[in-house]
Amino acid sequence: MFPFESIEDFKVELTEEHELFRKAVRQFVEQYIEPRAMEIEKTDRIPDEIFEKAKELGLFGVGIPEEYGGQGGGHVMEAILMEEISRVSPAVGTAIAVRALFTTPILLFGTEEQKKKYVVPVARGEKFAAHANTEPCCGSDVAAIQTRAKKVNDHYVITGRKIFITGADKADYFVVSARTSPPKEGKRWWGITVFIVERDTPGLKVGQRFNVTGLRGERPHEVILDEVKVPAENIVGPVDQGFKVIVTTYDHTRVGIAAQAVGIAQGAFEKAFNYALQRQAFGRPIISFEGIAFKLADMLMMLEAARLLTYWSATLADRGDKRFIIAASLAKAYATEVAEKIANLAIKIHGGVGVDIETGVERYLRDALITTIYEGANDIQRLTIIRQLLKNLFGLSIQMT
């Protein structure tokens, strides 16, 4: 059981309600997303009708309490949503799920006024939102951010540049991290504060789009802040302690990235399995050859292990078990690497047509790559796993390089 205490710690709690929800999402995906998946790839744009239908179904509010405009549910429900959509279009999954990077810090650390003003319209799908933390200097090293926020009377003036910001082109609201004080000795993380910034605030500009390898239809952008004036009431959590706000947010949202990876792996496996049944070589289906059959068996083993890890971590999070942090890192690192491996094997099973864009197979590999990087690169997840292990067992806090 080490480092856990009982076999009961490994429960995966799923209900009939979860299955009914999964079927509803599957229907939405098959009716509105799947017919347009290749269109999204080619045009690099998600049609507005998909967002409108997602709004109508309340999908933007999954995991958000009903009192703040959401549909309720928890991490398990969010994982189901992310997996089912990403099986067909990881870009659409990202576009819908990114709102959690905005709502989570406010729900966990924000004021009642902030929740009602900003979370409610996002949960209802009336407004889009994004999370602006990554900078040219630093992604995984949150404590190193260089964006500055200077206090002037009853407001702050923010100046800096953020990059790789998902959903920035559509966002009405942003959560933005900025340094308000210099770090304390031995505490590099000290001095960062998190703000809510509205898109139409003078000085805020959404800049260039980054043409990253995958997620066509939902590419990230840069966000430029040039002396952006923000009222003090828009601070999320304690002043100078925003590092905790940011990393706690990622603890919660990385479960969704694991689920996205499971969806990618599922989609790639299904395509490979169906192709192996239909493709003939030397007078018989290629699934009858051990070289293909063994690949498919390996793919299924990895896929189901990743799924169990993901839904286990989501269950721990919904139970309020603090060990969900280590479980979420285990799931995120394993599931995303599995997605990459399965997508690669799917291409090999398809042979030459596997690298043909028109077949829709190679895009799973492109989309899988980014999942190993965002929401904390997988080497950071490995550091988190060991740090949490030592902290939980011995109360140790160590610096690792």
Could you say which of 123, 153, 178 is where a domain stops? 123
| Residue 233: inside a domain | yes
Could you say which of 67, 99, 123 is where a domain stops? 123
Region 125-137 average pLDDT: 96
- Answer yes or no: do 258 and 374 share one domain: yes
Mean pLDDT of the chain: 95
The 3-state secondary structure of 185-248, one letter per residue? CCECCCCEEEEEEECCCCCEEEEEECCCCCCCCCCCEEEEEEEEEEEHHHEECCCCEHHHHHHH
- Answer yes or no: do 52 and 16 share one domain: yes
Phi and psi of 48, rounded to 5°?
Answer: -60, -30
Region 354-377 average pLDDT: 93
d(C-alpha 366, C-alpha 36), whole Å: 18
> Which residues, other chains included, contact 73 with Cβ-Cβ below 8 Å and sequence gap of 6+?
21, 62, 63
pLDDT in tens, 278-321: 999 999 999 999 999 999 999 999 999 999 999 999 999 999 99
| Residue 115: band (very low, low, confident or very high) from pLDDT cuts 50, 70, 90 | very high
Does the pTM of the predicted model rise above 0.75?
A: yes
Supply the residues annotated as catalytic: 375
CATH of residue 111? 1.10.540.10
pLDDT for the residue numbered 188: 92
Helix (H) or strand (E) holding 293: helix 290-318
| Residue 2: inside a domain | no
- Structural domain boundaries, residue 182: 129-240
Could you say which of 240, 273, 295 is where a domain stops? 240
pLDDT for the residue numbered 375: 87
Phi-psi region of 63 (alpha: psi -120 to 50; beta: other; left: phi over 0): left
Distances from the Cα of 344 to the Cα of 229, 297, 341, 365, 369, angstroms: 47, 14, 5, 6, 11
Residue given tokens 């900003």 in the structure block: 118
- CA neighbor of 305 nearest in space, from 271, 330, 340: 330
In the DSSP assignment, the letter for residue 146 is -
CB 347 within 8 A of CB 340: no
Share of the chain above pLDDT 90, in %: 91
Number of domains in the chain: 3
Is the bond preceding residue 3 a cis peptide, omega within 30 degrees? Answer: yes
pLDDT in tens, 213-253: 899 999 999 999 999 999 999 999 999 999 999 999 999 99
Helix (H) or strand (E) holding 155: strand 155-165
- Residue scoring higher pLDDT (175 or 399): 175
| Residue 399: inside a domain | no
Helix (H) or strand (E) holding 366: helix 362-371
| Residue 178: inside a domain | yes
d(C-alpha 125, C-alpha 158), whole Å: 28
